[in-house]
Amino acid sequence: MITNARGELTEVKGPGVVGEQPVLKPGESFEYSSGAPLNTPSGMMGGAYQMESESGERFDIEIPTFSLDRPNQAASLN
């Protein structure tokens, strides 16, 4: 969920992340860079990724809420 500075919510939902659906083995990691639709100078983002084990069990991994700030702009606490 993305919350802009006016408190308006946008839900981002879909398969994969940045067009990929990585398969990770124990101890492996995946890094990526991405952007977010934000129509105010700052906001917040948080939610969860849904994962699937090799056996097909689905589970969520929480993404703690973090601050979003436009590049080249003074950061503000949200």
Mean pLDDT, residues 4-22 taken together: 89
**pLDDT reading at 78 higher than 70:** no
Residue 11, pLDDT score: 92
- How many angstroms separate the CA atoms of 60 and 39, rounded? 28
DSSP state of 40: S
pTM of the model: 0.71
Residue 77: band (very low, low, confident or very high) from pLDDT cuts 50, 70, 90: low
Tell me the per-residue pLDDT of 32-75, one tens digit each, with 9 for 90 and over: 888 888 889 899 999 999 999 889 999 999 999 999 887 776 65
The SS3 of residue 31 is: coil
CB atoms within 10 A of CB 43: 24
